[in-house]
Amino acid sequence: MESLNSLLDGTVVSTCLFYLFATFTLVCAALVVANPFSRNPVTSAMFLVLAIISMAGLFLLLHAFFLAAVQILVYAGAVIVLFLFVIMLLEIKEELRRRINLFGLFAGILSVGLIVRLFLACLHQSPVTSAANPSIEGDTASLGKLLFTQFVLPFELVSVLLLVAMVGVIYLSSKDSKSRISASSSGTEPGVGKESSAVSQSPNTSTAASTQTKH
């Protein structure tokens, strides 16, 4: 622990590590958003893993040891696996190149550039208050103490939120709710016979595909 702290606070080493991790995070994030070599969502997910892991390195440099571990466990371990699982389940083909909407491209780049400009102007013109020598340690014991004293109500509410999310996901992905929705939609809309038959045909084939992948 002592050696780790001395490594993190040694000015030259920590500065080099900061620039290394920051560059790696930004490059991987750029490759998530726009990869010139591949349009496959799996590639984006893999670069998202790399960006998240190097961001855990940035958390380590900020002495947030517990959050770095949680970041790797939850994001790289659970969220990305969920993403990859859905990508494989949906069997999305490589994205076809479509005509780029020039107005959308221009508007997107313009708005993002203005937002970056606003952020940097805020950063440079308002005084950033920071302690003279930061000495806080985000280890598990101090964070847990705070979590079970001052933040105990939000902590319990988050557990309720997880329960609600779990029930919601189970309801959304169960077969019963799907057939009920399609039955009610076809029952109340008699005028769209051709469309609804085409729509009700597609769920059957996709469920057949999903049950095949499950087995």
Whole-angstrom distance, CA of residue 22 vs CA of residue 28: 10
- Tokens linked to 150: 């001052």
CA-nearest of 215, 195, 178, 210 to 91 is 210
* Position 15 contacts other proteins (CB under 8 A): yes
Of 166, 180, 183, 211, which lies in the binding site for other proteins, with binding defined by CB under 8 A? 166
Rule CB under 8 A: which of 34-63 touch other proteins? 34, 41, 44-45, 48, 51-52, 55, 58-59, 61-63
Of 38, 50, 69, 75, which lies in the binding site for other proteins, with binding defined by CB under 8 A? 75
**Contact criterion met (CB below 8 Å) for 166 and 160:** no
Of 88, 90, 183, 211, which lies in the binding site for other proteins, with binding defined by CB under 8 A? 90
Residue 36 beta carbon to other proteins: minimum distance, rounded to whole angstroms: 14
* Position 193 contacts other proteins (CB under 8 A): no
* Position 24 contacts other proteins (CB under 8 A): no
Residue 184 beta carbon to other proteins: minimum distance, rounded to whole angstroms: 13
Whole-angstrom distance, CA of residue 140 vs CA of residue 11: 25
Residue 109 beta carbon to other proteins: minimum distance, rounded to whole angstroms: 7
Residue 212 beta carbon to other proteins: minimum distance, rounded to whole angstroms: 14
Whole-angstrom distance, CA of residue 47 vs CA of residue 44: 5
Of 13, 92, 156, 180, which lies in the binding site for other proteins, with binding defined by CB under 8 A? 92
Of 2, 102, 104, 126, which lies in the binding site for other proteins, with binding defined by CB under 8 A? 104
